[in-house]
Amino acid sequence: MHQFTCSICGDGFEQRSRYERHLQTAHPPSAMTAADLEKALAGIEFPASQDRLVQYAGQRLPEGSAVLQAIKALPKRSYRDAAEVGIAFGETKRPEPERSAEEVAQSEPPSRRGGHAAASAAVSAAAVAKLLGGIDFPKSKAGLLEYGWHHHSKVTDPGRVLGVLARMPERPYTNMADVEVEVGRIL
């Protein structure tokens, strides 16, 4: 019998440090997404201030919840819809301004350059949410593309963001969470 047993997979460990390392590497916590925020705010009437979002989510989530903390960290302003909340969430997750691959290469050791350069060059779910901010649902894939085309000036690289939308399956999308799930599968 092992002193520490993983409640997820049942592996046993004699040392606490190995057990904790196992939990961090084999079963890392999933990253929170804008869809998690949208789910926590389901049913709220927009437009809503950041204070109203915190109040509403506070009634539905436990005090220490990571989602509630993320809502508390949103900029204090009024949000027109869930897409704007998703955009603000994406902006708060970015600890520093995006840098070019050249800037990264000059400031970081080679072991870290590749990942940061790739991340700054990739289309993000936040860019998709920004492009589709203010859209009315439900929409088909064609409706998403049409809206994105008409609002392409909202993002810096509309061709790449529209390319992600073009790769989405043809089906009805009822809200931004539906879109974000498919974008997550593509990215």
Residues 133 and 173 in one domain: yes
The domain boundary residue, chosen from 71, 93, 115: 93
Please answer whether residues 116 and 104 qualify as being in contact, where contact means their C-beta atoms are separated by less than 8 angstroms. yes
Query: pLDDT per residue over 6-63, tens digit each?
Result: 888 889 999 999 988 888 888 877 777 777 888 899 999 999 999 999 999 999 988 8
Cα–Cα dist 142/144, whole Å:
5
pTM of the model: 0.43
Domain membership of residue 73 as a residue range: 34-93
pLDDT of residue 6: 87
Residue 21 included in any domain: no
Residues 88 and 135 in one domain: no
Residue 12: in which H helix or E strand, if any?
strand 12-13
The domain boundary residue, chosen from 52, 74, 93: 93
116: pLDDT strictly greater than 50: no
Cα–Cα dist 86/132, whole Å:
11
**Beta-carbon-side half-sphere exposure of residue 93 (alpha carbons within 13 Å):** 18
Residue 114 included in any domain: no
Residue 1 included in any domain: no
3-state helix, strand, coil in the chain (%, to 5): 55, 5, 35
Residue 180 included in any domain: yes
Residue 118 included in any domain: no
Number of domains in the chain: 2
Query: pLDDT per residue over 127-164, tens digit each?
Result: 888 899 889 999 999 899 899 888 888 888 888 888 88
Query: pLDDT per residue over 40-54, tens digit each?
Result: 999 999 999 999 999
